[in-house]
């Protein structure tokens, strides 16, 4: 066999293998967020990324439990939003307890307010969807992976969430939320233009689930702002327990609220 032919027999397999290695689809390792998570901070945690959320008035500990006297002078608030937080704060100062929130009214929390919830959370991961289960009132979020937001959706409390993985991080984009309720326990309002971007990643060898998020709503805020929440892995072998809000009159800490009833006559 001529030398040139022998060389060709050697080079063709080598070149084919190199081409395969260059153009094959890379294997993506998806982070495993499965399990149960919980946190103790009903406030959003501050970050160093820029403007932050509404917090307690100066003199009240940021981590004080169940103290909801919001600093309505926060420069991120548009005037009408500042007034809403002020009214909420005055109610708390004069009555000793703030106006009722989604928690006491058995309303869906929405995003990012759901990140304040201090009850167990479970994440379920599938190839095309991440489902987030919240123990309180059996609330559910669905994050559709690797697709865009459809047009002409009816607004809803949780809006529409799409996501994708960036290395070890799950990135979630949520839009089209109805402008009902507040986004925190300070009564901070929002409009239908609310847009929230969340980044979920594991820390401390998988024992901590960090959520960094950005809120944008120029109808309500003067700029986008940033905050975080940090969940901790908890053993919960039997799963989430049933928690029906309207059947529990002790959702308000330190008080009992009547079960919601409709007193209006039907005719």
What pLDDT, in 10s, does the model give residues 93-107? 776 666 777 777 778
151 domain residue, yes or no: yes
**pLDDT > 90? residue 185:** no
172 domain residue, yes or no: yes
**pLDDT > 50? residue 20:** no
197 domain residue, yes or no: yes
Query: In what helix (H) or strand (E) does residue 206 lie, and over which residues does it extend?
Result: none
Locate tokens 């401390």: which residue? 204
87 domain residue, yes or no: yes
Helices and strands per DSSP (H, E), number in the chain:
3, 9
82 domain residue, yes or no: yes
Pairing of strands 169-175, 160-166: antiparallel
What is the mean predicted confidence (pLDDT) over 75-88?
Answer: 95
Report the 10 Å Cβ neighbour count for 25. 5
The pTM for the full model equals 0.79
Count of structural domains, the chain: 1
On whether the CB atoms of residues 104 and 96 are closer than 8 A, the answer is no
Report the 10 Å Cβ neighbour count for 150. 10
User: Lowest-pLDDT range, 11-25, 75-89, 110-124, 228-242?
Assistant: 11-25
Range of the structural domain that residue 73 is part of: 35-235
103 domain residue, yes or no: yes
2 domain residue, yes or no: no
72 domain residue, yes or no: yes
**pLDDT > 90? residue 76:** yes
What is the mean predicted confidence (pLDDT) over 8-21?
Answer: 50
């Amino acid at each position: 066999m001529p030398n040139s032919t022998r060389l060709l027999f050697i080079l063709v397999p080598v070149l084919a293998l190199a081409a395969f290695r260059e153009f094959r689809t890379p294997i993506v390792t998806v982070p495993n967020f499965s399990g149960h998570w919980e946190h103790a901070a009903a406030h959003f945690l501050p970050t160093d990324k820029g403007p932050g959320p509404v917090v307690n008035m100066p003199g009240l500990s940021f981590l004080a439990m169940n103290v909801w006297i919001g600093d309505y002078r926060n420069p991120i608030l548009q005037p009408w939003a500042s007034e809403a937080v002020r009214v909420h704060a005055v109610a708390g100062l004069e009555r000793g307890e703030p106006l009722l929130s989604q928690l006491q009214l058995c309303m869906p929390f929405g995003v990012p307010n759901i990140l304040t919830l201090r009850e167990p959370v479970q994440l379920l991961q599938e190839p095309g969807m991440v489902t987030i289960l919240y123990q309180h009132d059996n609330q559910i979020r669905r994050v559709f992976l690797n697709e865009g937001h459809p047009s002409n959706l009816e607004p809803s409390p949780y809006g529409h969430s799409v996501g994708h993985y960036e290395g070890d991080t799950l990135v979630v984009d949520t839009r089209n939320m109805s402008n009902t309720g507040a986004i925190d326990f300070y009564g901070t309002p929002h409009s239908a233009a609310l847009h929230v971007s969340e980044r979920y990643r594991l820390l401390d060898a998988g024992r901590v689930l960090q959520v960094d998020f950005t809120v944008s709503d120029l109808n309500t805020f003067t700029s986008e702002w940033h905050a975080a929440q940090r969940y901790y892995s908890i053993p919960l072998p039997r799963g989430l327990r049933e928690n029906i809000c309207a059947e529990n009159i002790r959702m308000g800490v330190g008080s009992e609220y009547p079960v919601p009833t409709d007193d209006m006559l039907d005719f």
